[in-house]
Amino acid sequence: MAEFGTFADYGATNRAAWGSVPFHGGPVTAVRPESPADDAGIEPGMFVASVNGQPLTDMIVWLWEADEDEVELEVFDPRDQTLASTVLERYPGEDWGLTFGDAVFDGMRTCVNACVFCFMTMLPKESRKTLSIRDDDYRLSFLQGNFVTLTNMSDEDVVNVIQKNLSPMNVSVHAISPDVRRRLIGRNAARGIEVLERLMDAGIEIHAQVVLCPGLNDGEELARTLAYCEEHPQVTSLGIVPLGFTKHQKRFSTSYSDDPASARAVIEQVRPYQDRAFERFGRHTFQMSDEFYLAAHVDPPEADFYDGYPQFYDGIGMIRAYLDEAEALLAGERERLDAVHRALADEGRRLLVVSGAAAQGTVARLVEAPPLLGEVRAIENRYFGGNVDVTGLICGGDLLDQLPGALSGHMVILPDVMFNADRLTLDGYHQDALLRELEGRGASMLVAPTMPGDLLDSLERTLGIER
């Protein structure tokens, strides 16, 4: 089975999004030595144009057609503009040895909606063009977990999903009432529900999402949406996330982050649906994003409440997972934490971990506790403004402006999620440039994952601590 890259939404890595490169098939970026592909003479830079006679438009075609132990490929070589056929054979369980650079090869399908809460329409004018690409490609929903509205799917697309059983699919629902959906999404809103119901009737599992906007799809409309999902057991999770907005728009000025009472009210409104779902299916199904619990000043549910974290990377359950992992380290890996603290002390340094404002208190439960006794520095997001406060959207300019001018005596940890696949921040700072600047202020630097176990592993490697 071929591998393929997953890129940050704001990366400049999806060449098909620009339509600047003619479609030749799947671009080969690596070939494993002594693999079937290598034996056939396929090289990086070539394109697989078809597999078993089917144009290779995306990784779904590849996974579907290349599941046997013999495949016929057409391979395009751009060096001499030739197209050649070859047959590959493999042993059972052997992979073909091909790595492709993208997940879709014929152009990413973009959004045709006019969602009033679309974050891409709230970007600063000076933002680079790649940030404003609005993907709405059902293939990326299956392959990479992107949320899609289904409004731009043709009947042929729907049949493709059903025939290939592309399940689960991640679907942005937002509301159920036709008039509310039109106000939220635009004139194509009805198509989304039509396709959703066809998929559910065919047995496709759905992970749904609602972006909750005060005064638009909350209250009674949220109740209708919850009831609709409750009536359709193919919806195995419904994530409810609060409206996020920047200062670069005029429509929104408040959300749940600055209204604890409203956040608590939404949590309470959803609770009966969670209880009934657990009684029926043994899962809670209806999940609140972490922002609601932070805004309401209440602890998030225990880990088993999250049904295996199906929407973890959309901010649902991250706090609980972090707290549990941190607690386990503090209780069971004290010697490792002590060793990190001693190594830092030997260098005359103290840990300084950069975080978004939303996660500061959570990260501090590990970093500022004994034995690490470090500091968590929250970076205010002035580039976007509004209520943007998550770690993954930290911008380079804000980081440089808000960290001290003198950082000697500190090891500064930058979260890896603030960089895309090209190692750029959202405002265009390259990781290397940030590291050079902060090292110039006296800091030793480390870019590391945010979860406690991964962070500890990175610290041990950097400090040369052997386990």
Q: How far apart are CA 277 and CA 230, in angstroms?
A: 7
Q: Is residue 36 included in any domain, yes or no?
A: yes
Shared domain for 169 and 85, answered yes or no, is no
Q: What pTM, to 2 d.p., does this model score?
A: 0.90
Shared domain for 452 and 338, answered yes or no, is yes
Pairing verdict, β 47-51 and 26-31 = antiparallel
| Contact (CB, 8 A) for 404 and 379 | no
Shared domain for 96 and 127, answered yes or no, is no
The CATH number given to whatever domain includes residue 26 is: 2.30.42.10
Token pair recorded at residue 237: 């999770």
Last residue of a domain, one of 46, 68, 100: 100
Shared domain for 265 and 305, answered yes or no, is yes
The CATH number given to whatever domain includes residue 260 is: 3.80.30
Shared domain for 369 and 305, answered yes or no, is no
Per-residue pLDDT of the chain (467 residues; tens, 9 = 90+): 232 222 223 233 333 333 344 678 999 999 999 999 999 999 999 999 999 999 999 999 999 999 999 999 999 999 999 999 999 999 999 999 999 988 999 999 999 999 999 999 999 988 877 787 899 999 999 999 999 999 999 999 999 999 999 999 999 999 999 999 999 999 999 999 999 999 999 999 999 999 999 999 999 999 999 999 999 999 999 999 999 999 999 999 989 988 999 999 999 999 999 999 999 999 999 999 999 999 999 999 999 999 999 999 999 999 999 999 999 999 999 999 999 999 999 999 999 999 999 999 999 999 999 999 999 999 999 999 999 999 999 999 999 999 999 999 999 999 999 999 999 999 999 999 999 999 999 999 999 999 999 999 999 999 999 88
Q: Is residue 375 included in any domain, yes or no?
A: yes
Shared domain for 7 and 85, answered yes or no, is yes
| Amino acid making up residue 24 | H
Domain total for the chain? Answer: 3
Q: How far apart are CA 354 and CA 399, in angstroms?
A: 9
The CATH number given to whatever domain includes residue 411 is: 3.40.50
| Contact (CB, 8 A) for 278 and 324 | no
Domain extent at residue 449: 333-463
